[in-house]
C-alpha cells in the first residue's frame, strides 16, 4: 500500500507541475513546440524593434579583409590582463615652424605618389616613456582616429582636428585646423603632445581607424576601415627629419617622423600627407615577418529572452592565419613579402560569453571543433559583456586551432547549442540565419563591430 501511495503522490506532483508550467505558457512535454514559440516571439520582437525584414536581407556583413599584426601581439590579451602601455595626455604643446610647412608642400604634394620618400616601419619600447605629436594634416574629407598597438594592447592616441592650431602671420590669430588641412601660407603650427608609459621591449605599431563618410559617419557609429603601418600605409620620413630645424626633441631621444595614408591599399593615392606625426623616444626597427589574419566575428543571441538584441551571448572570432617573410634592401626599403610555407591555419578566439546559460560552440562540417562555456566559466557568468566590469575588446576567453581547417567562411558552418535554463531540459541549436529571417547569429568584421553591453540593443544602422 505504501508503494502505491507513493506512486500516486508522485503522479499528483507531476500533474501539479504540468499545470503550473502551463500557466507560464510552457509545454514540458513538447520542447520542440516551446522552442518554436520562443523563436516566433523573438522574430516578432526583432521586427518591432528594427522594422520589417526584407526577403533578401543577408546577415553576413564580413569582408574578410586581410589585416596585418605582429606575430607576438596578434590576438590581444586575456580578459583582466594588465596593459602594456597607458596613455597619459600632457598639457604641453609642440611648435613647428614654416620650414616644416614648406617642406611638406614642396615634397609631399597631395595626390602625388610619395611612397619613395620613406620606408615601412615598426617600433619597440625600450625606455619608460615616449611622446607622440600629430602636427600636420593634409586636405581630406575622411575622418580618422590615430591608434597604436603596444604589446598587444590597442590604445587611442588622437582624433582628427583635435587641438591642432596654426598661424598665417606673426600677429594673426590662431586658427583651428579643419578638413582643409594646414594651408601653404601657415608660418607656425602648435600641436598637442601625448606621452605614454609602457613596459620595456614591447613591440609597437600604429594604425588609423578611418570613416570614409566623415565625422557624421563616426558620430553615428558607422563602420570604419583600418589602415596599418604594417601594411606599408605609414612611412618613416627620413628626409623630413634631416631637412628641418624647427622640430626639436629632448637630448638623447631618437626622432621619427611618420607620414600616414588615409585610404586603403585599393585606390590609395599614396601621398602619405593626410596625417603626419612625430615620435621621439624609442628607435625605429624593421620586422622580419608579420602575421596576416582574415577574420569573421560571429555574434549571437541565445534565446534566453526573446526581446534582447545585444548580440553578446556568444562572441567568437574565426580566422584564417598565415605569416609573411619581409625583405628590405640596403636603403631600408621593403622590397618583398612572401608567405611562409606551412604557416597557414585556422584559429578561433572566444571574446565574450554573456547570458546565463551554458552553451557549446561547434565549428566545422566534417571534423567538428567544440568549445563549451562550462567548466572554464560558470553557466551563469556574464563574461566580458560589461556586467560589473568594463568590456575588454581584446580579451581572449579561449583560443584554439580549428581541427583540419574545417571552417568554411562562405558556408558559415558554425553552430551553437544552448542548454535550456527552463524546465524543458532541451537544447536549442543556433545556426547561421537564412536571408530574410530574424537573426540570432550575425557575421561581421572584428574591427568594425564591437559587441554591446548587457541589454543594450545594437543600433539599427547595423542592419538596414
CB 403 within 8 A of CB 366: no
CB 356 within 8 A of CB 304: yes
CB 310 within 8 A of CB 169: no
The pTM of this model reads: 0.74
71-283 CATH fold: Jelly Rolls (2.60.120)
* Three-class DSSP labels, 353-403: ECCCCCEEEEECCCCCEEEECCCCCCCCCCECCCCCCCCCCCCCCEEEECH
According to the model, what pLDDT value does residue 403 have?
98
Tens digit of pLDDT at every position of the chain (464 positions) = 333 333 333 444 343 433 333 434 444 446 678 788 989 999 999 999 999 999 999 999 999 988 888 875 544 433 333 345 556 777 689 999 999 999 999 999 988 888 888 877 777 777 668 899 999 999 988 999 999 988 778 889 999 999 999 999 999 999 999 999 999 999 999 999 999 887 877 888 899 999 988 998 888 777 788 888 888 889 888 888 788 889 888 887 888 899 999 987 566 788 999 999 999 887 777 778 889 999 999 999 998 889 999 999 999 999 999 999 988 777 666 778 899 999 999 999 999 999 888 999 999 999 999 999 999 999 999 999 998 899 998 899 999 999 999 999 999 999 999 997 655 567 899 999 999 999 999 999 987 778 999 889 998 888 87
The domains of the chain are located at: 31-67+291-462, 71-283
Distances (CA, A) of 379 to 5, 90, 150, 314, 430: 38, 44, 33, 12, 17
According to the model, what pLDDT value does residue 253 have?
84
According to the model, what pLDDT value does residue 425 have?
64
CA atoms within 13 A on the CB side of 37: 9
Amino acid at each position: 500500500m505504501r508503494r502505491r501511495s507513493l506512486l500516486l503522490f508522485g503522479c499528483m506532483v507531476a500533474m501539479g507541475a504540468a499545470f503550473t508550467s502551463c500557466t507560464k505558457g510552457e509545454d514540458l512535454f513538447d520542447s520542440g513546440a516551446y522552442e518554436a514559440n520562443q523563436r516566433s516571439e523573438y522574430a516578432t520582437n526583432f521586427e518591432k524593434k528594427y522594422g520589417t525584414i526584407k526577403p533578401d536581407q543577408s546577415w553576413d556583413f564580413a569582408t574578410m579583409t586581410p589585416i596585418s599584426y605582429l606575430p607576438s601581439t596578434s590576438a590581444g590579451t586575456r580578459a583582466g590582463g594588465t596593459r602594456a602601455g597607458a596613455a597619459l595626455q600632457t598639457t604641453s604643446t609642440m611648435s613647428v615652424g614654416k620650414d616644416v610647412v614648406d617642406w611638406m608642400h614642396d615634397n609631399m604634394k597631395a595626390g602625388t605618389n610619395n611612397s619613395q620618400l620613406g620606408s615601412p616601419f615598426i617600433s619597440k619600447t625600450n625606455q619608460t616613456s615616449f611622446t607622440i605629436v600629430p602636427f600636420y594634416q593634409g586636405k581630406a574629407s575622411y575622418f580618422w582616429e590615430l591608434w597604436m598597438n603596444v604589446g598587444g594592447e590597442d590604445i587611442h592616441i588622437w582624433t582628427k582636428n583635435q587641438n591642432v592650431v596654426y598661424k598665417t602671420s606673426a600677429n594673426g590669430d590662431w586658427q583651428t585646423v579643419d578638413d582643409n588641412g594646414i594651408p601653404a601660407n601657415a608660418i607656425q603650427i602648435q600641436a598637442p603632445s601625448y606621452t605614454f608609459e609602457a613596459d620595456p621591449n614591447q613591440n609597437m605599431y600604429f594604425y588609423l581607424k578611418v570613416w570614409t563618410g566623415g565625422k557624421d559617419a563616426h558620430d553615428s557609429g558607422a563602420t570604419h576601415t583600418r589602415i596599418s603601418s604594417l601594411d606599408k600605409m605609414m612611412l618613416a620620413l627620413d628626409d623630413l627629419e634631416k631637412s628641418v630645424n624647427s622640430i626639436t626633441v629632448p637630448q638623447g631621444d631618437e626622432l621619427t617622423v611618420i607620414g600616414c595614408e588615409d585610404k586603403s591599399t585599393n585606390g590609395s593615392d599614396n601621398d602619405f600627407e593626410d596625417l603626419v606625426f612625430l615620435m621621439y623616444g624609442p628607435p625605429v626597427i624593421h620586422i622580419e615577418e608579420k602575421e596576416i589574419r582574415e577574420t569573421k566575428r560571429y555574434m549571437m543571441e541565445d534565446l534566453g529572452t526573446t526581446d534582447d538584441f545585444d548580440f553578446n551571448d556568444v562572441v567568437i572570432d574565426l580566422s584564417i592565419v598565415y605569416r609573411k617573410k619581409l625583405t628590405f634592401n640596403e636603403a631600408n626599403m621593403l622590397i618583398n613579402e612572401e608567405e611562409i610555407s606551412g604557416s597557414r591555419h585556422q584559429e578561433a578566439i572566444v571574446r565574450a560569453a554573456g547570458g546565463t546559460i551554458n552553451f557549446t560552440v561547434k565549428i566545422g562540417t566534417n571534423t567538428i571543433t567544440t568549445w563549451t562555456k562550462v567548466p572554464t566559466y560558470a553557466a551563469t557568468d556574464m563574461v566580458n559583456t560589461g556586467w560589473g566590469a568594463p568590456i575588454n575588446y581584446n580579451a581572449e576567453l579561449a583560443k584554439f586551432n580549428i581541427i583540419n581547417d574545417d571552417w568554411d567562411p562562405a558556408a558559415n558552418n558554425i553552430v551553437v547549442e544552448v542548454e535550456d535554463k527552463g524546465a524543458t531540459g532541451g537544447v536549442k541549436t543556433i545556426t547561421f540565419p537564412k536571408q530574410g529571417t530574424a537573426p540570432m547569429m550575425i557575421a561581421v568584421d572584428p574591427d568594425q563591430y564591437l559587441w554591446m553591453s548587457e541589454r543594450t540593443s545594437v543600433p539599427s544602422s547595423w542592419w538596414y
